[in-house]
Structure 1
Amino acid sequence: MVISIRRPRHDEGEQLIAIWCRSVDATHHFLSAEYRAELEPLVRSFLPEAPLWVAVNAHDEPVGFMILSGQHMDALFVDADRRGRGVGRILVEHALSQAPELTTNVNEQNEQAVGFYKKMGFKVTGRTEIDDRGKPYPLLNLACRKE
């Protein structure tokens, strides 16, 4: 699969929200249904203004995205149908090319994501008992330095 990274287009908002929904539904089984329902409107409100990078296939269709703020990757989501095909790796490699001392946070209960980040060379630098919204979903703080 050929993947390119680019900035989002203004007409891709719904596609990116759909990717977020499918990705979260496939990987965040630990979230309560109520909390998952709370998150979607929040994502819809901030995503259009976020500093996004979009992974696109050979047909220029979004298959994943990340939010990169300075040296911190705020989010990484890959369409559920594209997981395990290198999209996340390509996004992280792009992030490291922009931010050689990259940090991120990951839900501790998202074991697949934790394993992915460790495989990509991230190290755990800390842990919080709650997520960014004060909910009981522990976060691991991670850091990776481009070699």
Structure 2
Amino acid sequence: MIKELTNPTQQEIEKIAQLWLASNLEAHDFVAADYWRGNYSEVKEMLPNAQLFVYSDEGELAGFMGLMEGYIAGIFVKKEYQQQGIGRALLAEAMSRNEKLTLAVYKQNQQAYRFYVKQGFTVEAERIDPQTDEVEYQMSWTRNA
């Protein structure tokens, strides 16, 4: 069900980018929707440069994770597939391949924050995201920490 996309097609990138946008709009209602829409094209261009893992359910994209050198750029799961262990499975894949992982999560996104804490991540720092003026936590996980 989880596979790494090593040479994603344009169609796969489009589906992933659409899920990125929908998920961000839903999870970050405290950030102006225009911010996410305004970054859509740039994210779509950057996706092929990330290590992408997709979770499919009978051929349908249910979720994905983007990794860049141990940095989790995001885990995104379609609304209808949330609370089914997909995010946990994607994160477990990253944990199995890396000694250390880092990420940033908005303080106001308490659902994501609690998810990462439950998976063993700790807050290393707190900062203001200069693009959104929102407080975000810099978090990390280390194997056998």
When the two structures are superposed, what TM-score results if normalisation uses the length of structure 1?
0.86
- Partners of 2:67 and 2:73 within 8 A in 1: yes
What CA distance in whole angstroms lies between the structure 2 residues aligned with 1:98 and 1:70? Answer: 11
Instruction: For residue 68 of structure 1, give the secondary structure of its aligned residue in structure 2.
Output: strand
* C-alpha deviation, 1:89, in angstroms: 0.2
* C-alpha deviation, 1:146, in angstroms: 2.6
What CA distance in whole angstroms lies between the structure 1 residues aligned with 2:59 and 2:2? Answer: 8
RMSD: 1.7
- Partners of 1:5 and 1:91 within 8 A in 2: no
Equivalent residue, structure 1, for 2:66: 67
Structure 2 matches for 1:1-147, cutoff 5 A? 3-7=1-5, 9-10=8-9, 11-57=11-57, 59-131=58-130, 134-147=131-144
Letter in 2 for 1:137: E
What CA distance in whole angstroms lies between the structure 1 residues aligned with 2:109 and 2:123? Answer: 14
Structure 1 unaligned blocks of 5 or more:
none
- Partners of 1:19 and 1:80 within 8 A in 2: no
What CA distance in whole angstroms lies between the structure 2 residues aligned with 1:27 and 1:83? Answer: 12
- Partners of 2:2 and 2:90 within 8 A in 1: no
- The percent identity for this pair of structures is 28
Which of the pair is proportionally richer in strand? 2
